[in-house]
Structure 1
């Protein structure tokens, strides 16, 4: 019997594998990954410094342990070159050469890759991006070698702000640069973004907004960074966190439907019947949500479908806790297509912002220790983002 093949051993791939084993102890399962197959929680990477975790302490299981734990075959350091939909086979590049692997069902859990912007200068070798434990090990090692602690963070989105907070708590001098006029500009209305920025600035994070990095050059004492607005200052290392782009190349070559991500229906099925996608690479009925809770919902539903119990993924209201203890923040943005009215309530230590249509709460933003306590109560009032048929 040909196996269920999962491409990717990140949080999506391994979470699906666990759910598959709950649904079936015997279903043949093969996981293919281009990296070393170490299991780790990717969200941990953006607060590992403040948690005192060394890179070698983040992994929760190596290739051998995961093979035993999941009762699966795992092919590490293996690249999928091609999907043959008609014959239901994969062409793989392994250490032993090119091989062909058949599948019964195929799941693409191939994640997303950091967006890079062009930067001039000989200092671009000191620009790092963290999208995996391997990336984090490289950044951590370089950071430890620096005599001073001046870090420039390129990107004031969710991950950028989390890394900025993490570096701040370990006594780094942090400057955040972004083209947007406010941090978290895609998630927060202006009123909350301003308050969020002020709270982080009060703790010591510096923002240079409405500009970007144009040039980085090595100097005798570090890196000279020139911004597009002409401002120049010195740092020791640059971390780029300007966003992620779903990895769709393999799906595109197989002529699967792609929009912002690999397009799937509520069964997580692509435009081809025996191929599915989940995690950061998947756009589910128009929703591209690179967060943990949607991933968990996807894994539970897809495991049932793959083991003979067709199931639809369900998205209840899923707030996101941003890991910025210097400015505690919970976000549940309204669906992008909704025309909502924002109402703001200022508190001594933050703000509550509610997005409504009529009397129905469609989303909310909670800033500060007092506001974030209302997370559960408000979540119950928000309709499902992706419901199940009646």
Structure 2
């Protein structure tokens, strides 16, 4: 029998491999990845500074350790050039050499790529993105240069006031950096929070020292002798020693497209995580399950457990219970359970001394989402989660 092959060594790939090995210790398992296949939890990158973790401390195991631990073969620095769905065969390239790999089941765990804006200026190529441990090493190297006196004031400009941008801003501000966050939206976390909560969240971050330039975008990044000048569309300009882009991710669908695998925003799957091609599945940030993209840890874990059972012969639909997202911003503790897209909701607000609780209810009075800001409100997380209907029920 041909092996089960996983393309991708991120959290999705390794979590699936781990769950599969709990159920099947003998089936040949192969992981193929374009990088060094170090196992790490990507969410730790946005608060590693405050946690006093250097890049070398973030990795949980290299490819050799993980291959031994999970009894699988890991092909590092290897590119999948094409998928022949009919032949159940991959074409690979490593060190300029082309080879093939057969599979019985194939799992796309290829993640998502950072969105990059077209920004003018001779400094635009120096803008960092952090979507991997390798990216984070480069970002930390630039920050460390500031610590050795090569920068004036450890000034960091972040493009994007979404979840990752705000988490990095809080982490940097807590470790002695001067942070300004730029976003075209009029408020941070605009896609996750109702306006009244977003304003309170912003105020809490501002009180910690973080600055915001909202309702505008970056037009140009220019190099200077001591850093960069960031020119904004509203005529304002900022100076920075390091620039980080965190404006979002796009699921990696290019490889799937070449194999005639159906895609939309992500790789389209049903609740069995099956694509339209036989024996090919998708999981993690690249997977659009029943029309829903959920690039968070808890959905990934649910997917991995279900797919491991399916690959082991027990056909299992993924189950999405209500899964709140904890935002790692200690200056403004925040938990969000977004209401489903397309559901009309009414927000009810309750104020506390240290924050607020906002509930989103539908026309029938059913709780469909909530936002908890502050430690007092956060204590209600478990009780409220139990009241929210499953996004994908067990019987899907």
Q: Which band: TM-score by shorter chain?
A: over 0.9
Corresponding residue SS for 1:101: strand
Show the counterpart of 1:106: 106
Matched-pair contact (CA < 8 Å) for 1:27–1:307: no
Is 1:190 aligned with 2:189? no
What aligned pairs does 1:140-179 form with structure 2 within 5 A after superposition? 140-146=140-146, 147=151, 148-179=153-184
Show the counterpart of 1:67: 67
Show the counterpart of 1:249: 254
Matched-pair contact (CA < 8 Å) for 2:356–2:377: yes
Q: CA deviation at 1:96?
A: 6.1
Where do 4+ consecutive residues of structure 1 move more than 2 Å? Answer: none
Within the candidate set 373, 378, 383, 1:377 is matched to: 383
Q: Distance in 1 between matches of 2:221 and 2:95?
A: 37
Q: CA deviation at 1:126?
A: 2.5
Q: After superposition, give the CA deviation of every residue in 1:86-117 in whole Å (9 maximum; x if it has no partner).
A: 10000000126000100000000000000000
TM-score of the two chains, using structure 2 as the length reference: 0.97
What aligned pairs does 1:216-295 form with structure 2 within 5 A after superposition? 216-295=221-300
Q: Distance in 1 between matches of 2:90 and 2:18?
A: 23
Q: CA deviation at 1:125?
A: 3.0
Corresponding residue SS for 1:171: coil
Matched-pair contact (CA < 8 Å) for 2:114–2:250: yes
Matched-pair contact (CA < 8 Å) for 2:85–2:278: no
Q: Distance in 1 between matches of 2:238 and 2:309?
A: 54
Give the stretch that moved more between structures: 91-100 or 379-388. 91-100
Q: Distance in 2 between matches of 1:112 and 1:233?
A: 30
TM-score of the two chains, using structure 1 as the length reference: 0.99
Q: Distance in 1 between matches of 2:231 and 2:50?
A: 29
Show the counterpart of 1:310: 315
Q: Distance in 2 between matches of 1:255 and 1:233?
A: 45
- Residue segments in structure 1 that go unaligned for 5+ positions in a row: none
Q: Distance in 2 between matches of 1:176 and 1:315?
A: 33
Q: Distance in 1 between matches of 2:126 and 2:53?
A: 23
Is 1:28 aligned with 2:33? no
CA 1:203–1:6: 2 relative to 1, 3 Å? same
Q: CA deviation at 1:359?
A: 2.5
Q: CA deviation at 1:241?
A: 0.1
Q: Distance in 2 between matches of 1:73 and 1:95?
A: 18
Show the counterpart of 1:135: 135
Q: Distance in 1 between matches of 2:217 and 2:331?
A: 24
Q: CA deviation at 1:73?
A: 0.5
Q: Distance in 2 between matches of 1:121 and 1:260?
A: 30
